[in-house]
Amino acid sequence: MTDAAAAPAAPLPMFYKNPVPLEPARHAQAGLKPEVEFRFAAGTNAIPLTASEMPHAARTYPIVFSVNAPIVPFAVVGLRDNENLFVNAEGAWRDDSYIPAYVRRYPFIFSEVPESQRLVLCIDEGAANFETSSAQPLFTDGKPSEALQRALQFNETFQQHYMDTRRFGEWLDKNNMLEDRMARADLGGGQTFTLRGFKLLNPDRLRTLEDAQVLELHKRGWLPLLHFHLQSLQNWGLLGHLTRTRAAAAANQPS
Q: How confident is the model at residue 61 (pLDDT cuts 50, 70, 90)?
A: very high
Quote the pLDDT of residue 8: 40
pLDDT digits (tens, 9 = 90+) for 90-132: 999 999 999 999 999 999 999 887 666 789 999 999 999 999 9
Number of domains in the chain: 1
Structural domain boundaries enclosing 212: 2-251
Quote the pLDDT of residue 81: 86
Mean pLDDT to the nearest integer, 44-71? 96
What are the E-state strand segments in the chain?
2-5, 19-21, 31-32, 46-48, 63-65, 73-76, 108-112, 119-124, 130-131, 139-140, 143-144, 178-188, 191-201
pLDDT over 50 (residue 136):
yes
pLDDT digits (tens, 9 = 90+) for 144-179: 999 999 999 999 999 999 999 999 999 999 999 999
Answer positive or negative: Cα dihedral of 211, 216, 219, 222.
negative
pLDDT digits (tens, 9 = 90+) for 200-230: 999 999 999 999 999 999 999 999 999 999 9
**Range with lowest mean pLDDT among 24-33, 182-191, 239-248:** 182-191
Quote the pLDDT of residue 5: 45
Quote the pLDDT of residue 23: 95
Question: What average pLDDT is seen over the chain?
Answer: 90
Quote the pLDDT of residue 188: 66
Q: How confident is the model at residue 196 (pLDDT cuts 50, 70, 90)?
A: confident
Is the model more confident about 189 or about 143? 143
Count CA atoms within 13 Å of residue 4 on its CB side: 20
